[in-house]
Structure formats: C-alpha cells, structure tokens
Chains A and B, each alone.
Chain A
C-alpha cells in the first residue's frame, strides 16, 4: 500500500515536472514555419529541399524539444512578398508559429521582417542574399544565416582581382538585389586597386543576354561580373560562351551561383568558373553523411540555402533545449551565446546585428574530365574566414546592433 502510494506520488511528481517543462513552451508545441518558393524561380535552390532540410533538423531531436513536440509547417510564397507577409502574419496570429525559416528572395525576407518585428518572432533567413538585411533593413529578431552579397563580393571579387582581373564591367539585374551585389563587389574591387569601367542593367528576368554581352565585350574590361542570380546568371554565361567572349580573353565572374545552376549551364561550359559558396556537400565526412541522407530524400544534393536552413533550425532548437523555453528573447540570447556548431558551420557566431558569421569557401567548377560522378562538380580553392567574409560588427549599419 505504502509502495503504491509512493509510486503514485512520484508519478504525479514526474507528470508535474513534464508539464512544468512544457509550460515554458507556448501552446505546448514548438512550431516552425518554413516559408519558401515551392513553385517558381528559386524552387530548385530552396523549395521543397529547404523544407526537407528543416525536417532533418527536427528529426535529429527526435521530434521533441524541452519535452514539447516540434512541428514544421510549410508554405509556398511564390516569391511574392505579399503572400509571404500574409502567411507569416496568419501563422503568427492564429497558428502559434514561433519562428519563420528559409525566406528566399530579399523582398520576401523584408516583408516577413516587418511581421516578425511586430509579433516579436524570430526570422531565420537563409535564401535571401542582400546584405542590407543585417544593415539598414535589420530587425532585432532577424537572423541572416547562410551568406550575403558582401561575402560573395569578398570571396569571388577579391580572388579574381588577385589573379589580375583588375578592370570590371557589370551585368546587373535591374533591381535592389543586383544593385546591392554590384555595390558590394565594386567596393572590394576598388579597395584591391582594380577599377569598374561600367555596368549594364538588364531587365529581370532577361531571357536573352546577347546584347548585354556585346556591350560588355565592347567595354574592353578584363572581367565581366554577373550581379544577378538563378536563370539570369545561367543565360548570361551561356551567351558569353556563345559569343566567344571567353575565347577572346575576357573572363566571366558569376557572383551568386548554385549547384543546380552549374548543372543547368553544363559543366562543359561552366568549367573553371569561380564562385563563393557557403556550403558544398563534398567537404568532409559530416557534410557528406548529411548530404547523402538529404540525397536519399530528395534525389538531389543540397544547396547552401538548404543546408543553411537545416543549420538555422537546428541551432534554434538547441537554444530551446538549453533554456527550456521558446520565448523569443530568451532563445535569441541563448542562440547568440552558443557557438553555431554543426555540419554547416564550424564555430559560427551569431552577432547582435543578426549576422551569423561562419566560414565561406571559394570554389571552382571542375572540368568534366576531373569529375568522378554526377554531383562531383566543385573543388574548394580556399576557405574564407568568417570575419573576412562578413566584415566586423563595427562595419554594420544596423541601428539596433
């Protein structure tokens, strides 16, 4: 009898403990909203793969953190800021979503920033690239995880100047992201003693680059810098190749290129292309193991955006586990305190301006003859230390840093 009583007592104590643990978790569940492009231009770079990556982080926790279940909800924003803002607002207001993740394209990230600021929720940006996200446009709870235009500039830009590419002509996508990228690269080039001889803005998206390539050709610049992304970059590189630009001695610098883009261009054409990446699947055992798992789920190797989504969600969950709470400020403080340590980032630091500082890599597209398999596409030339890639915190113009 006595035994039974004590058993019952300890059981109820356990139950109380459990409920105490999850009492710190709002709504008894940790909900992460993955807002991504499932159907349009960036669905290959982010898309379903990003949702899979986020789920892989959750699976590593066995679906539970601090005694509460973790739930991932996914929505397609079609690269439309209004759809994204609407969905984020609805998730926050009615479904108890605690954090927004992925958020590809700058316009989407900025729209979700507005919502996140009002609702005081975390925005874990992976896909959007513009560096203003942790500068003028920053918010206290907006975290920029994977890369930014400054890092791309530092990586690819300075490497090319070092090799003698000291005069540049830009083909720039005619919108804010293209301008941000061109600005950041111009700074790097000029600081290294190179000069920018001109730029042509092209419509976004542009299907035929031949005329812009002609202008770049006539400029006489040694380097044609592509301040654009996705299909635009692919088309520009193909056009440059077709018009004998490379054969005539000018070099192409793709400033934001992803694995699927290289596959689109074709390795034959893309070989020798230098690019700055935040992640490559074939770097070490950890990345290979994770990427293999990813491959089994999606049939593709992960992009940096997808791996970065995994890392940001994982770090977020680790902070919840450590604090036992999903309160935004508590978790954010813990996320800043803990180093980011996973297969994506080694000793990454989350700064107060929202920038996650980690190493970036300068890579080169292999020649087809060097490749041993379908996905053996890049070789890493150099590791760019995080501080060099993203600059010091003092450089950030974020008012709340």
Chain B
C-alpha cells in the first residue's frame, strides 16, 4: 500500500520535473538510473560483481549511434539494435566469466571489458578518440519530433518506465527468487537441482541487455557515443551508484545514480572541479566502510527499527 503511494508520488514528480529542472540533466539521470538498476540485477540480486558493465553500456551506445547516423534507421529501431548488440556481447562475456566466482569474476569481467574497450579504440566505426558525433535524434513513432527536449524527455521516461517495470517484475518472479537463493547459498541451490550456471548466465545477459538499453538511450539524448561510455571508470561508477543507493533494493540504484550525477554536475562548475575523481573515491570508501546497505538500505533499516 505504502509503496503504491510512493510510486504514484514518484510518477507525478517525474512527469512534472522537466517544467522545473533542466530536461537534459533529467534525461541523463534517467539513463544512469536505468544503467544502475540493470547492474543491480547482477550484483544486488545475483551476487556477482561485474566490473565490466561499461562494455555493454558503451557497446550499445556505439551500435545505436552507428545505426542512426550511418544506416539511418528510425530511432526506436536504432535503440533496439544497440540493446540487442549489448545482449549478444553479454552472452559472450558471460559465458567466459561465469566459469569463476567472486573476486575472479570481477577481474575477468574487468579484463574482458578492457579488451572490448581496446577494440573500440581501433575499430573504424567508433570514430576512435573522436567518438560518434552528431547522431540524429529523429522522431518517435515517426511523428513526435525528438529534437525538442521536452518530447525527448517523455520518450526517455517511457523507456525508463518500461525497463524499470521489467526489472521489478524479474526480481519478484520465480526466476528472481532462484537467483537470490543462488546468491545466498550457491551449493544449496545446486543441490536443489537448479542449473546454477544457466541462471547466472541468464541474469548476466538480462543485466547487460538492459545496461545496453541505457547506453543506447543516452546516445540518442546526447547525440554522441564516446570511449568514456566504455572505459573502466564507467564500470566503477555504476558500481558506486548501485552501492551508494543500496544493493539489492529496487529503488536504490536510481537514488544512487541521482546522487552521483547531481554531484558530478554540481562539482564540475564549482571550485572543486578538479577533485571529482577524488570525491567519488572518498564516497566509495565511505560507502564500503560505513554504510554498505546504501542510502535506501539504511533508510529501510532505520524505518524498521523505529516502527
């Protein structure tokens, strides 16, 4: 009941926000909220720390950019192409990475993503260091002009809403339950007859696909795809967003993404501009040491205790 009211308030806020807040900033926020939520599927619910999600985010960004700019596909189709590409990449990397667990999994995904990053640097279709510039936003359904920031915002909001719905349904589905069971005790899940690797791989592919959706959408919003999207710092950032917001909570990653994006934007124009990486690092350290449950997790714990 409570959460329903919360959602209604959130929807109302999201619908009216662009009237008050700069829409491009809001779109960036939504894209990263989606990215972090997708990432949370594998870390929060699957218990696997992927340090290579930038490969999917950035890979999809490039494919979408190429599809829209060079092939001239309609916007929706371009986004879907990029998303699908991320899914395929997720399958390839996932098949290799799930052979190891824990820390090894993190290092393998990191290394594989770094390899993808180097491929992007030298592949001709990415534009290397220059990135893909001037990607057309096009129209939604062939009628709504997305060059208009307001139209674009609602388009992104619809994508975010659908993906968010999909994620929360997945988490609460039997599949999500099994995934959590594997996270909590892999041996037991195996002995109960679940094909653990298959579940993990499926979760990884789903997570990478949705991370790709976030990357594709971001390309359309900003009309460019660049190496930043695929660099390992991006993988680290999404870990931070998820951790800060709250691992394994539905809204946590979005909250974390909101805080980090707002902070980056705020810092970039202030006197602390040159200290952005340091500030992010300090937040990382603080999160790991002091509040591992994240903002939402701690809040929930606090509410539990007080009522």
Contacts and interface: CB of A to CB of B under 8 A. Distances in A.
A81 B118 contact: no
Interface string A186-203: 000000000000000101
Interface in B25-50: 25, 28
Interface in B222-244: 222-224, 226, 228-229
B17 to A, nearest CB: 14
Contacts of B157: none
Contacts of B276: 39, 76, 78
A189 to B, nearest CB: 23
Interface residues of B, number: 30
A176 B129 contact: yes
Nearest to B129: A175
A74 B273 contact: yes
A80 B24 contact: no
Contacts of B269: 73-75, 87
Contacts of B133: 81, 107, 110-111, 113-114
A76 B273 contact: yes
B135 to A, nearest CB: 9
A76 B223 CA distance: 20
B131 interface: yes
Given A80-B226, A110-B133, A38 B128 contact: no
What DSSP secondary structure best describes chain B's contact surface?
A: helix
Given A80-B226, A85-B224, A176 B277 contact: no
Contacts of A107: 129-131, 133, 226
A175 B120 CA distance: 10
A86 interface: yes
A85 B121 contact: no
A106 B130 contact: yes
B259 interface: no
B128 to A, nearest CB: 4
Interface in B102-141: 118, 121-122, 127-131, 133-134
Among B130, B218, B228, B269, which residue has the most Cβ atoms of chain A within 10 A?
B130
A106 B228 contact: no
Given A75-B268, A86-B28, A81 B121 contact: no
A94 interface: yes
B273 A75 contact: yes
A93 B21 CA distance: 12
A90 interface: yes
Given A39-B274, A74-B273, A82-B226, A114 B134 contact: yes
B69 to A, nearest CB: 12
A89 B222 CA distance: 9
A246 interface: no
B22 interface: yes
A85 B229 CA distance: 14
B224 A114 contact: yes
Interface size class of A (residues with CB under 8 A): 35 or more
B228 A174 contact: no
Contact of A39 (B118, B223, B273): B273
Interface in A124-147: 130
B223 A174 contact: no
Q: What secondary structure prevails in chain A residues at the interface with B?
A: helix
Interface string A71-115: 001111010111101110110011000000000011100110110
A375 interface: no
A295 interface: no
A87 B268 contact: yes
Contact of A81 (B25, B226, B277): B226
A204 interface: yes
Contacts of A48: 274
Interface string A201-220: 10110000000000000000
B121 A204 contact: yes
Given A38-B274, A85-B224, A90-B25, A177 B129 contact: yes
Contacts of B226: 80-82, 107, 111
B202 to A, nearest CB: 31
B222 A175 contact: no
A33 to B, nearest CB: 9
B129 A82 contact: no
A122 B201 CA distance: 50
Given A80-B226, A114-B223, A204-B121, A38 B273 contact: yes
A43 B229 CA distance: 21
A76 B268 contact: yes
B229 to A, nearest CB: 7
Contacts of A130: 130
B274 A76 contact: yes
Contacts of B218: 82
The 3 closest A-B pairs by CB, nearest first: A175-B129, A175-B128, A76-B273
27 contacts: A39-B274, A39-B275, A39-B277, A48-B274, A74-B273, A75-B268, A76-B274, A81-B224, A82-B218, A82-B222, A82-B226, A82-B229, A83-B228, A86-B222, A87-B269, A93-B22, A93-B149, A105-B129, A107-B129, A107-B131, A110-B130, A110-B131, A111-B226, A175-B121, A176-B127, A176-B129, A176-B130
Interface of A: 38-39, 43, 48, 73-76, 78, 80-83, 85-87, 89-90, 93-94, 105-107, 110-111, 113-114, 130, 174-177, 201, 203-204
Given A38-B273, A82-B229, A130-B130, 8 more contacts: A39-B274, A39-B277, A43-B274, A82-B226, A86-B28, A93-B149, A174-B121, A175-B130
Interface of B: 22, 24-25, 28, 118, 121-122, 127-131, 133-134, 149, 218, 222-224, 226, 228-229, 265, 268-269, 273-277
